[in-house]
Every structure is written in structure tokens, then in C-alpha cells.
Structure 1
Amino acid sequence: MSRTTRLTGRGKGPRPSGRERRPGPPGPYALLPWLLLGLGAFSNLWQGETPNPWVGALGLLTFNSLYTSVVFRGFDRRRRESTTSYWLLAAMGAVTFSLAIGYGGSWLLFFPLLSLACGTILRGRWLGAGLFSLAVCASLVAVWRGDHASEPWTIGYGTLISGGVTAAILTLSETVMELRATRQELARSAVEQERLRFSRDLHDLLGHTLSVVVVKSEAARRLAPHDIDAAIAQVTDIESVGRQALTEIREAVTGYREGSLATELDRAGPVLAAAGIEAVIHRSGPPPAPQTDALLGWVAREAVTNAVRHSGATRCVFTLGSARGRVRLTVTDDGAGPGRPTGPVDGTGLKGLAERLAAAGGSLESGPGADGGFFLAAELPAEVREGSGRRGCG
């Protein structure tokens, strides 16, 4: 259907690939170039300006390995929130403090890198507390060493900003991805709800219409040998019912059909009479609001369909009343035919009605009557908001 095409976005351009591109940073590889901040420390090792160069080289290799591992884990939520990630971050912190305190100078730039790694792993209040503490410690180490080319506060400021910006970008990236997933899920849900509405409308429409056609066809067959004019009248009714069904199906497909209690009760008399059932209608109180009236129209239609198909009844009573801001429609008959519902809510039609009314703040009861037969009782608020019980649940 065209409606489904619009909701799913199909039919407009090529289908997107299974792996969606992450908005913002495309992945952990975008954070690896920041390791170039360690070129100053590497230059010191290369030029022999660092005491115990093998210790420094081992520390540099360890730091780079830990940084790469932590950054890659930060882009996977399950791995990021694992205990291993926090241990790796702690080990990275220990290496950073050891190298910065031991060598100073260019090695102090490992503090911003450590902060960046913290921004990929930490979230919430731990992130703020961790970055602030790390920035303070970086400034104090820079003051204590006193051998960096820039002012000590710049080390602390760079440490604070690098982790904060990284965490903000990654959080925004994750939020956008979640919003995309939510939008796709809402589109799928809308399609499923539309399919459910369409299937229930067709069940209610065709079940009722075919039941009427069968009843009137049987009446025409019985009358044909004795009263040809009456038989022709029944056949004319069948034609009228068929045309009406075509109109209702078109309206159901476009999503604009709403039932009417008055219309369904007017149709109920001739349909039940053709099945040998007397229809009795009792009304009290003001007319229901339009949306309530439409939902009660579906209830009346389903009640007539069940009475014609299953009941074997001779009398069917419709009672409509209102009290305390609620409208109640009760349908009872004196039939106990084979195959009719026996539980509180049984059968596809009654289940669909129960869900339709529940979505509008109402309820549906059904089951064997106290004096035999069967009853169906629907209760709704006097004012049902527009669209309730229709598209939302079928």
C-alpha cells in the first residue's frame, strides 16, 4: 500500500546499507592521530636527552598500547562499561603519572591524552569529577617540575578541555544514533498498527456483510417457491448490501471509515428479522459524542454478526444508557446456538473490539447471560478524544 511505502521510506532511492555511518566521529581511528602529542617525548628518547631511555621507551610503548585499547573500547558500549576498561584506564593513569613525574617536559603532554581516553570511557558525574581532578593534578605536576615550555595552567586547561570535548562529541553521537533507531522503530510500529487496523476493519466489515448475505440468500431460497416477489426483495437487499460493503471497504482502505451506532442499529432490524430474530432497542440519556458513537457502532455491528451466525436466538435486545460521564451499550439475546463464544472475550472480532475500546479508555464484557443466551456490554467515556481506538489499536 502507498501508506506503508511512506512510513517505511521504501521506494525512494536505494535502500541504506546494514551498517549505518556513525554521526560525528566515524570511529576510534579518529582519535589515534592525537598520539602525535607524544612526538616530543619520542624526540627526547631519540636524541638521548632522557635518562634511562629503555625505561622511557617501555613507558611510551605501554602508554600508546593502553591508549589505543581504551579508545577502541570506548566506542563499544558493552565493552566500555566493563570492569576491564576501568582497569586499563587506571593502568594508563599510573603510567602517565610515572612518566610525567619522572621526566617532565614534553612528557607532561600525556595528561591531555589520558584525559581524552577518560572522555571515551567515563560518563555522568564520574566524568566531571575525574577530569577536574586530573586537570588539577596535571597543573600541580607541571608546577612541581617547572620544566615545560608553556605555563603550568595550560597543561591543566588542555587536560580538562580535551576530555570534556571528547565526551560531549561521543555522547552527542550516541544520542543521534539512538534517535535514528527510535525513529525507525516508530516507523515499523506505525506500519504494524496500520496493518492491524486494516485487518480488523476487514474482519468486522466482511464478517458482518457475508453473514447478512448468507442469511438473506437462505431467506430468498426459502421464499422463492412460494412468494417470488418476496424472494426478489431479498435478492435486491443482497445487491444493496454488496454495494454498501464495497463502499465501506474502500473507506477502510483509505482509513477514513467510522461506524455510526444509529446506522448500525437501523441496519440491525432487517438483518436480524431475516434470520428470524426480533430486534428490541432501548435508548436513554443524550446521544453519545461522535467518537464514542463510532466505537459503539462497531460493537453493535459485531453483536449483530455474532447473533446471526452463532446464536439461534429469537430475540435480541439493545440497551443504550449513560451515567456519571460513561456510556454503556448492552446487547443480550436468548440464543444458545453451537459455536458461539463461551468465554469472557473470545474470538477474533471480540478481541479486536476489546483492544479498540481499551485504547479509548473503555471496556468490553461478554459471556453467557444470567438467564441463558449471551450478552455483550461495552462501556466508554462520554467524550472520547479524536482518533482513540481507531488507528492506535486497529
Structure 2
Amino acid sequence: MIGSGSQAREVRRRRRAERRQWRREHRRPGPPGPYVLLPWLLLGLGAFSNLFQGDTPNPWIGGIGLFAFNSLYIAVVVRGFDKRARESRLTYVLLAALTAVTLGLAAGYGGSWLLFFPLLSLACGTVLRKQWLAVGLLVLAVAACVVAVWHKDSASTPWTLAYGTFISGAVTAALLTLSETVMELRSTRQELARAAVEKERLRFSRDLHDLLGHTISVIVVKSEAARRIAPHDMDQALQQVADIESVGRQALTEIREAVTGYREGSLATELDRARSALTAAGMEPTVRRSGPPLPPQTEALLGWVVREAVTNVLRHSAATACAFVIDGTSDRVRLTVTDDGRNPAAPPTPGIGGTGLKGLSERLAAAGGSLEAGPGPEGGFVVTAELPADALVEPDGNPVTGPAR
């Protein structure tokens, strides 16, 4: 019982810590909300004092005007902190009503009632933006100065009142704009972090799927060859088993490199592996290569094409021969993989068939190349990849790597 009670307390303590952490992470940057502007209503205490002491003519009109001003100010400020509500027509109607009440009270009573102009400017700063804000604040400042000069009994000089009216709205709008910018940057940062995680997950899934799919196909082919040869030639069967061990060790190394993100394909290595796998499956591989040496990025992409094409040949074709032709120039390079198999799963018209080839086609397209796959004119299946001699790389500088299936 004691143990269960302490465990429950620990769970509650952990939950409280998680809630505090969540509030810290999701706390709104900048001003906490519209309530920071409500204490400025204390500027109207002078008008309230005049009204309460009977120094204001027509006190009922003044009282109703004071109540209307405070209500409209609170409504406009609260809606101004909500971007969606700020852009609604109702908000502008409320701001227009607040402006009318302010002008009426200031022009009718003067004195302390003129301090409602800076309050109106604060409300304008929460709602108006860009050129509308500049025009609105200038008009308010001029109106405050004119009314103060007309009454000649302002609580401060007309120029000071005009300056205070203008600067109140300008500072409020600047702070709110800065706050919104900070929130947008924070949201963008979180989105970029999610995109980076998703990109790394996609990279790893592509590499791992390609590595395992091809490696398992090779292991299965060589295992079948070892089983078929063992009753007649044990030494050759043992050689196939040694090849299986070598393929497995190489796969472990490649998986570790894929996890750390440092794996780069090699066209020559993939061609050597293709020869070994096809020979073990009873197929005759041929390779013809011409043209200048290729940069690592292009070699890496063509290596993935060879890997994907050989995997499909081993799985589906039942072919007896497979040819690899690489033709390169100073500008473009083309890789053609042709087999003479049946390809029962091949599409009836030229194009991109399986999802592996579709993912590879997208990768080549991102590097400025293209991929075509379909039945050959003389039977079998043909995969043709074409790339710029200097293929594009990912924005992070890494070579474009394996296809997503």
C-alpha cells in the first residue's frame, strides 16, 4: 500500500511537471493579451471625478458617454488582439462608434475628457495596420490638437496631447506587430523542425528498404543456388555460402552507414554485385560502358537504378540474360538495363510500373533526369535512366539517394 501511494504521488508530480513544461513551450510570446491595455482606462478617472463632483454639465449625458466609451474601448481592444476578429466588419463598426463617442465627449466637455484621445489611439493601434494606421493616427492627433486649442482648458498643452495621441497608437501597433511576427517565426521554426525530422525519416526508410530488399533477394538467390549445387559440387556450394556471408556483412555495414547518413552509392560496386547475383541465379550479365568518368552524385543515382533494376529482374523476370549499357557524354549520361525475361508483372505500355520504380523516377526527376520502364520491342523488360553528367544534389549537400517504395 505504501509503495502504491508513493507511485501515485510520483505520477501526479510527473504530470504536473509535464503540464508546466507544456505551458512554457506553448506560452504566447510578447504581450500576454488584451488585458495589458485595460489599465490605461485609468486616464479617464479625471473625467469620472468631474462627473462625480458635479463639475460636468448634463451629467446624465456625460455618464452615459463615459459608460459607452469604456464598453466600446474594451470590446475593440479585446477583438484587436484576435487576428480573425480584428479583420471583421463588426470591429471596424465598434471602432467608428468609439471614435464618435470620443469626439463628442472631448468636444462637449474638454478638460480631462480630452485624455480620451490617447485611449482612442491605443484602440486604433490594436486594429489598424500599415497605411490605415498612419492616416488614422495623424487624423486623431490633428483632431486632438484642434479640440484642445478650441477649448483652451486642456489638462496638457495641445501639442503634447497631439504627440501623446499619435505615439500611443504607433507604439501599440509596433508591439503587436512584433508579437505576431515572433509567433509566426516560432510556428515556422516548429514546422521546419517537423519537416527536418520527416525528411530524415524518409531518407532512412528509403535507404533501409532498398538495402534490405536487394540484399534479401541476393541472399535468397544464392541460397537456392547453393542448395541446387550442393549434391553435385560441394566446393562450389561452399563458395555460394561464402558469398552469402559476404553479402550479409556488407549489408550490415551499409545499414550502419544509412543510419548515420553517410552512405553513398557506387555504380561500379553495384555493377559488380549485379554480376554476382545474376550469375548465381543462372543469368548471363553483360556490361558495356563508354564516356568520361562521372561525378560521385551521378554515380550514386545510377547505382540505385542498377540495384532496383536487378532486384526486379531477380524477383519477376525469369530471364536468362541481362545487359547494362552506360553511354556518357560531357553533358548527359544514359543507363539502359535490358533483360530477356517474361516479366508477367510488367505494364502493358511503356512507362513506370511498380512503386519502387515510381519512387526512383521521382528521385531522378529531382536531380534533373528521367526514368522510363516498360516492355522492350523484342520482349523482356527495359529500364532507361538519363541524367545530367553533373547531377543535382539535395539542399543539405548530400547525394540524392535511394527510392521510396
Same topology, TM > 0.5: yes
Residue 277 (str. 1) matches residue 277 (str. 2): no
CA offsets per residue over residues 127-160 of structure 1, 9 Å max, x none?
A: 1111112211221121222210321111111111
Q: Residue 372 of structure 1 aligns to which amino acid in structure 2?
A: G
Residue 381 (str. 1) matches residue 393 (str. 2): no
Residue 111 (str. 1) matches residue 127 (str. 2): no
Residue 83 (str. 1) matches residue 94 (str. 2): no
Residue 34 (str. 1) matches residue 45 (str. 2): no
Q: Residue 354 of structure 2 aligns to which amino acid in structure 1?
A: G
Q: Residue 367 of structure 2 aligns to which amino acid in structure 1?
A: A
Partner of 2:9: none
CA offsets per residue over residues 340-388 of structure 1, 9 Å max, x none?
A: 5667233342233223223323322222223322222222222234325
The separation in 2 between residues aligned to 1:299 and 1:211, in whole angstroms, is: 16
- CA drift of 1:323 comes to 3.9
Q: Residue 376 of structure 2 aligns to which amino acid in structure 1?
A: G
The separation in 2 between residues aligned to 1:391 and 1:108, in whole angstroms, is: 72
Partner of 1:3: none
Where in structure 1 are there 5+ consecutive unaligned residues?
1-12
Of 314-323 and 382-391, the range deviating more from structure 2: 382-391
Of 42-51 and 281-290, the range deviating more from structure 2: 281-290
Matched-pair contact (CA < 8 Å) for 1:120–1:166: yes
- CA drift of 1:324 comes to 6.1
TM-score by length of 1: 0.92
The separation in 2 between residues aligned to 1:393 and 1:179, in whole angstroms, is: 31
Q: Structure 1 residue runs of 4+, over 3 Å off?
A: 339-343, 390-394
Partner of 2:271: 265
Partner of 1:252: 258
Partner of 2:129: 123
Where in structure 2 are there 5+ consecutive unaligned residues?
1-16
- CA drift of 1:391 comes to 9.8
Partner of 1:100: 106
Matched-pair contact (CA < 8 Å) for 1:193–1:391: no
Q: 1:187 aligns with which of 188, 193, 196?
A: 193
Q: Residue 389 of structure 1 aligns to which amino acid in structure 2?
A: V
The separation in 1 between residues aligned to 2:303 and 2:373, in whole angstroms, is: 16
The separation in 2 between residues aligned to 1:32 and 1:44, in whole angstroms, is: 21
Q: 2:229 aligns with which of 223, 231, 237?
A: 223
Alpha-carbon spacing, 1:252–1:339, altered in 2? closer, same or farther (3 Å): same
Matched-pair contact (CA < 8 Å) for 1:332–1:373: yes
The separation in 1 between residues aligned to 2:264 and 2:347, in whole angstroms, is: 26
Q: 1:369 aligns with which of 362, 376, 384?
A: 376
Matched-pair contact (CA < 8 Å) for 1:360–1:388: no
Matched-pair contact (CA < 8 Å) for 1:200–1:352: no
- CA drift of 1:218 comes to 0.8
Residue 60 (str. 1) matches residue 55 (str. 2): no
- CA drift of 1:287 comes to 1.4
> What's the C-alpha RMSD, in Å, of the aligned pairs?
2.0
The separation in 1 between residues aligned to 2:125 and 2:174, in whole angstroms, is: 8
Partner secondary structure for residue 286 of structure 2: strand
Matched-pair contact (CA < 8 Å) for 2:207–2:402: no
Residue 150 (str. 1) matches residue 156 (str. 2): yes
The separation in 2 between residues aligned to 1:392 and 1:328, in whole angstroms, is: 18
Partner secondary structure for residue 376 of structure 1: strand
Partner of 1:289: 295
Partner of 1:10: none
Of 170-179 and 315-324, the range deviating more from structure 2: 315-324
The separation in 1 between residues aligned to 2:318 and 2:183, in whole angstroms, is: 59
Residue 350 (str. 1) matches residue 361 (str. 2): no
Matched-pair contact (CA < 8 Å) for 2:304–2:402: no
The separation in 2 between residues aligned to 1:255 and 1:118, in whole angstroms, is: 53
Partner secondary structure for residue 279 of structure 1: strand
Alignment size in residue pairs? 382
Q: Residue 379 of structure 1 aligns to which amino acid in structure 2?
A: E
Matched-pair contact (CA < 8 Å) for 1:194–1:391: no
Q: Residue 368 of structure 2 aligns to which amino acid in structure 1?
A: G
CA offsets per residue over residues 200-228 of structure 1, 9 Å max, x none?
A: 11111001000001111111111111111
Partner secondary structure for residue 16 of structure 1: helix
Q: Residue 118 of structure 1 aligns to which amino acid in structure 2?
A: C
TM-score by length of 2: 0.90
Partner of 1:7: none
CA offsets per residue over residues 216-250 of structure 1, 9 Å max, x none?
A: 11111111111111111111111111111111111
Q: Percent identity?
A: 70
